């Protein structure tokens, strides 16, 4: 019986969404929080975003993750394109990621993630929508990149 080959560990991940203002910075912040010592993490958008969304900053702050210094950037502004994995969070980003990886040895995953800016309502309703996005991304990240513990003695 042939030995089972484990895929090489993922050492770099790019999260992509439409404007790099909400979903991809939140996902990058979460992955960095749990695995920042062993995985290089970056995020981009398909189109130019102005600045990180204040509601995204607020709900990430609830978890002790600071997004306030995030600078939005596009695929064209990436300094390095050698990633092991690109996770796209919007259909538009998925198309762009597939385009980018046609000539690269890089996996692409599509995590279709709700855009919380589509929710109307007061501040609390908006924050609730952003929390749902954050918590959904958190669940996906924990499932895809499980926390490993060292040996116990």
Q: Residues 88, 75: contact at Cβ < 8 Å? A: no
pLDDT at 147 over 90: no
pLDDT at position 9 is: 82
> What is the percentage of the chain residues whose pLDDT exceeds 90?
79
pLDDT at position 19 is: 96
pLDDT at position 103 is: 84
121 phi-psi bin (left φ>0, alpha ψ -120 to 50, beta other): left
User: Tens digit of pLDDT for each residue in 57-108?
Assistant: 999 999 999 999 999 999 999 888 889 999 999 999 999 999 989 888 899 9
Q: Full-prediction pTM beyond 0.85?
A: yes
pLDDT at 26 over 60: yes
Interacting residues of 1 by C-beta distance below 8 A, sequence separation 6+ = none
pLDDT classification of 143: cutoffs 50, 70, 90: very high
Q: Residues 86, 31: contact at Cβ < 8 Å? A: no
Helix residue spans in the chain (DSSP H): 23-35, 54-61, 91-100, 123-144
pLDDT classification of 2: cutoffs 50, 70, 90: low
> What is the percentage of the chain residues whose pLDDT exceeds 70?
92
pLDDT at position 110 is: 98
pLDDT at position 151 is: 52
pLDDT at position 148 is: 72
């Amino acid at each position: 019986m042939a030995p089972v080959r484990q895929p090489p560990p993922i050492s770099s991940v790019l999260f992509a969404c439409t404007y790099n203002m909400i979903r991809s910075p939140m996902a990058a912040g979460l992955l960095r929080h749990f695995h920042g010592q062993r995985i290089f993490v970056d995020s981009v958008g398909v189109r130019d975003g102005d600045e990180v969304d204040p509601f995204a900053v607020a709900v990430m702050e609830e978890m002790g993750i600071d997004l306030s210094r995030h600078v939005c950037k596009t695929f064209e502004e990436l300094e390095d394109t050698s990633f092991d994995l690109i996770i796209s969070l919007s259909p538009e980003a998925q198309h762009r990621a597939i385009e980018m990886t046609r000539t690269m040895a890089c996996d692409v995953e599509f995590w279709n993630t709700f855009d919380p800016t589509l929710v109307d309502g007061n501040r609390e309703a908006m924050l609730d929508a952003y929390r749902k996005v954050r918590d959904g991304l958190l669940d996906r990240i924990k499932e895809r990149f499980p926390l490993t513990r060292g040996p116990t003695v």
